[in-house]
Amino acid sequence: MKKKHFKMFKKGKIWCYMGIVVLSTTLGLITSSRSIQADTSSTENTVNVGQQGAVNDAATTTLRTTDRDNVQVVQDTKDNIKQAANNNSAFVDISSVDPQASTSATQEGWQNENGNTYYYQDGTKLVGQQLLNGKNYYFNDQGVVQKNYFLTKDNHTYYYQNDGTRLDNGFYNNWGHTYYFGNDGTRLDNGFYNNWGHTYYFGNDGARLDNGFYNNWGHTYYFGNDGARWDNHFYNNWGHTYYFGNDGARLDNGFYNNWGHTYYFGNDGARWDNRFYNNWGHTYYFGNDGARWDNRFMNNWGHMYYFGNDGALVTNQFVQHGGQTYYALSNGVLNAPRYFSQFTPIYAPEGCAVASLAMLLSIKNEYFNLADAYNNLPQYGGVYNTGAFRGIISPEALTNYAHKWDSNVRNITGSSLEDISRLVWAGHPVLYYGMSSFERAGQRNHAKVIVGENNGYFHIYDPCYWNQGQRAHTAGGNAYDWGADSWQSWGAIASEYIGKAITIY
């Protein structure tokens, strides 16, 4: 037997009935029952309605809600049942009745859902790069705003901060490095950044170069611990000193002038300390502090050297130092005149001109055979026989004789002591004619050599002694018995000098 069951729902203020057809075996026609029977179960309440309208006075109020059709089933009072019977309908088909729809307002703007942040525009989630209120954000394909996120696009890198905004014109620090993102948000890769009076470099990976070297354009640059390029700055490492110029480029194979000194930096950029440098046909020396030696003397390897005002090692020139005349040989060694005696190793009592000439030439490290020079000297009476001596060779004749060995010997007869002083201060020794310790008549038949000057005193080598160490008043005994090697005042020299002299260039 088929039974009709009714479920009630409310539309507005009207209760409606939904007929449920229970099929016993197969689907049949819906029929009405002439009796009213209320059956209950643990799952739902049902009401059977007959055509006679019999109603149970006992009303029930059990409700059941289903999620599928959102329809409320209510078993209500007999008044409602009667109302349905009065409409001559066994049941009401709710398929023709529209339930009240549940609607919500359209979402707009920022929304937080399940721990994610979205932005709605006209009810739609935004995705991709978006400019909102003057700031840039990036939303993934699901519309979630990306935070603390790196985006690589079109060969550029962007960073979105913890609040989701893109980092524009700012620095980012992580992994022990510093990165810079420009005004358009792109990370600066392999580029320079200028600010605060400094230059910074960001490498191919975007990391700022700190405490490192950068090579480009044939130059080397250094960036310090704070990333700033070193400009006009010295850098010390590996036991060397380096200099980076105003443009930041390391000075390689070049000179640097400061503090009244000149410095040289080699091909590797290292400053040359305690080292010789050869160029332009000259030799230079840079001291322990790297400063070039200008107008300075060096003592080394048993010799003395002089570096001139331009720093070049002086060669083949006359030099005066400490009141002494020197000649800088071709290797730079400063050579002073050597003392020669007219008594030894060859005894030539009238050979003072040859002995003095030997001293004059010795400053240039030029020497001749003494025996040949004595034997061939064009001096009347020779050099060995005092009794045959008629006077010393003239300055002119001695100059011509000296040209056998050096054409730069010059006759300077007529020069004043001031002239001689200037020559000596320029490093030139001077052979002059004066008095020996044996002369009594004052004929000035003796040759001596001025080898230096200092504080108004001349340094005199006199060949009329047996050796350089022989002291004053140990020879002829007159007022000019000054010893082989002595310092004499201008007045003493002026008392014997008669204007006859030769020198060497």
Tokens representing 309? Answer: 């005002």
The reported pLDDT for the residue numbered 35 is 35
Question: What whole-number percentage of the chain has pLDDT above 70?
Answer: 79
d(CA 128, CA 473): 113
Measured CA to CA, the distance from residue 488 to residue 501 in angstroms comes to 17
Higher-confidence residue of 77 and 432: namely 432
Q: Are 388 and 379 spatial neighbours (Cβ–Cβ below 8 Å)?
A: no
Please give the structure tokens belonging to residue 390: 């008629």
| Overall average pLDDT of the 67-76 stretch | 40
Give per-residue pLDDT as tens, 354-405. Answer: 999 999 999 999 999 999 999 999 999 999 999 999 999 999 999 999 999 9
Q: What is the pLDDT of residue 30?
A: 34
Q: Is 72 exposed, middle or buried (0-12, 13-18, 19+ CB in 10 A)?
A: middle
Q: What is the pLDDT of residue 106?
A: 82
Residue with tokens 């000297």: 377
Q: How confident is the model at residue 479 (pLDDT cuts 50, 70, 90)?
A: very high
Contact 160, 138 (CB under 8 A): yes
Show Cβ contacts of residue 430 under 8 Å, excluding neighbours closer than 6 positions.
Answer: 412, 420, 423, 424, 449, 450, 501, 502, 503
Show Cβ contacts of residue 68 under 8 Å, excluding neighbours closer than 6 positions: none
Residue 9 pLDDT class (50, 70, 90 cuts): very low
pLDDT tens digit sequence for 101-157 = 334 568 899 999 999 999 999 999 999 999 999 999 999 999 999 999 999 999 999
pTM over cut 0.85: no
Q: Which residue has the higher pLDDT, 37 or 377?
A: 377
| Element holding 234 (H helix, E strand) | strand 233-237
> pLDDT: is 300 or 95 the higher one?
300
Where residue 43 falls among pLDDT bands split at 50, 70, 90?
very low
Question: Does position 461 have pLDDT exceeding 80, yes or no?
Answer: yes
The reported pLDDT for the residue numbered 346 is: 98
What pLDDT sits at residue 379? 98
What pLDDT score was predicted for residue 443? Answer: 86
More confident residue, 443 or 219: 219
Return d(Cα 437, Cα 478) in angstroms, integer. 5
Domains in the chain: boundaries: 3-96, 109-187, 339-504
Give the mean pLDDT of 231-251: 98
Q: What is the tens place of the pLDDT at every residue in 314-325?
A: 999 999 999 999
Give the dihedral sign, CA 31/34/40/45: positive
DSSP string of 336-381, one letter each residue: PPPP--SSSSS--TT-HHHHHHHHHHHTTT----HHHHHHH---TT
The residue with greater pLDDT, 433 or 29, is: 433
**Residue 292: pLDDT over 70:** yes
C-alpha torsion 127→132→138→143, nearest 10? -30
User: Which residue has 């959102």 as its token pair?
Assistant: 70
Triad 415, 459, 419: Cα angle to 5°: 20
Fold designation for 109-187: left handed beta-beta-3-solenoid (2.10.270)
Q: Are 29 and 38 in contact (CB under 8 A)?
A: no
Which of the residue ranges 61-70, 170-179, 211-220, 257-266 would you say has the lowest mean pLDDT?
61-70
> Residue 476 corresponds to which tokens in the numbers above?
């002829």
Q: Where are the alpha helices (DSSP H) in 391-477?
A: 395-402, 417-425
- pLDDT at 11 > cutoff 80: no
Task: Calculate the average pLDDT of the chain.
Answer: 85
Q: Which pLDDT does position 242 carry in this prediction?
A: 99
- As a CATH number, domain 339-504 is 3.90.70.10
Alpha-helical (H) ranges within 1-147 are 78-86
Answer whether residue 49 shows pLDDT above 70: no
> What is the percent of the chain with per-residue pLDDT over 90, rounded to a whole number?
78
Mean pLDDT of 3-7: 44
- What distance in Å separates the CA atoms of residue 422 and residue 420, rounded to the nearest whole number? 5
- Return the pLDDT at 440: 84
Cβ–Cβ < 8 Å for 354, 361: no
Asked if residue 44 has pLDDT above 90, the reply is: no
Q: Which two tokens stand for residue 472?
A: 């004053």
Average confidence (pLDDT) over 450-470? 98
- Other beta carbons within 10 angstroms of residue 23's beta carbon come to 9
Token couple for 258: 């400061």
